Amino acid sequence: MQIQAKMKFLLLFTLLALGASTYAQQIDLSNQNWSSEVIRERGQAIIPLYDGWYPNEDGTKTICFGYFNMNTKQSFNIPIGENNYLETDYPGLDLSAANIPTHFDPLPPAYRHIFCAFSVTVPEGFNTSHRITWHISSNRFELSTPGKVIPPYVLDEPRSDGRGDLAPLVKLSPNDRGVRGRTGIHTASMINASVDKAVSLRAWIEHPDEEIWVGWSHHSGQGNVEFDNKEYKIQTDNNETTVAVRFSEAGEYVIRMQTIDNIAAFEFYCCHTNAYFHINVSN
């Protein structure tokens, strides 16, 4: 994965240097001055990222997508549609239910790349010649990334024996069996909430380490979302964690929770767990 990360960085640097200069100067490419200072408060793009894939026991494969918001203060709501969609060349594959994010928070200062925000599981017949491509347009930048199942991009999931790392086990009720890994776990039914009234979201997390990181994000839904605590560490001897969330508008939302032993481990592409809370907010 180190070669993959370097290749991604070089491609990202090239694309963003071009994008930042074009946006700022609006002059012919041959006369532009290139700059590595591509992160801005506003005006930059959401970069869709292909994070890799992993095989499943039933023969299917799961492709992971993440993203990079190159703005430190600008967030985006980009509904599923012509500016935010998936396409594939695999015949008959239905992508309509894919859990694509539609809200993108400003750049996190500590880890920046949002790793595997969502995943798509593909049939056993999906091979190295097939692609799922995520297209996203923001601030006049039209970008895309192809997801594929070629060997150099295979991910350790849900554990890395080489690093001795393991994704946390996440339960959404204390008696669940729980799930480890990026495919994640979803609430079994809608959670009901009201506009401007706090609702508590709970998870039970287990891990061999004494302390792990937990982060909460607004994954989809058009209104503003406020958390009483977005990122923190918990002691695993008391494995229940709770966050209070408020919503500014009625509608359907998804809140994404990610947990990993340490955020530095994200850079090794293993091992974290996703959880998705589906919430119906009424007036």
Euclidean distance between the first and the last CA atom of the chain, given in angstroms as a whole number: 47
* Residue 11, C-beta contacts closer than 8 angstroms, at least 6 positions apart: none
Residue 38: the pLDDT is 84
Residue 22 to residue 45: CA distance in whole angstroms: 12
Three-class SS state of 118: strand
Residue 32: the pLDDT is 42
The CATH class given to the 159-282 domain equals mainly beta
Residue 151: the pLDDT is 97
> Which residue type does 268 have?
F
Q: To the nearest 5 percent, what fractions of the chain are helix, strand and coil? A: 15, 45, 45
Residue 240: the pLDDT is 95
| pLDDT tens by residue, the chain, 283 residues | 433 444 444 444 444 444 443 344 444 445 545 454 689 999 999 999 999 999 999 999 999 999 999 999 999 999 999 999 999 999 999 999 999 999 999 999 888 899 999 999 999 999 999 999 999 999 999 999 999 999 999 999 999 998 899 999 999 999 999 999 999 999 999 999 999 999 999 999 999 999 999 999 999 999 999 999 999 999 998 899 999 999 999 999 999 999 999 999 999 999 999 999 999 999 9
Which token pair is 282? 């009424």
Beta bridge partners of 279: 191, 253
Residue 111: the pLDDT is 87
> Which residue type does 197 have?
K
* Residue 202, C-beta contacts closer than 8 angstroms, at least 6 positions apart: 172, 240, 241, 242
Boundaries of every domain in the chain: 2-153, 159-282
Residue 42 to residue 70: CA distance in whole angstroms: 8
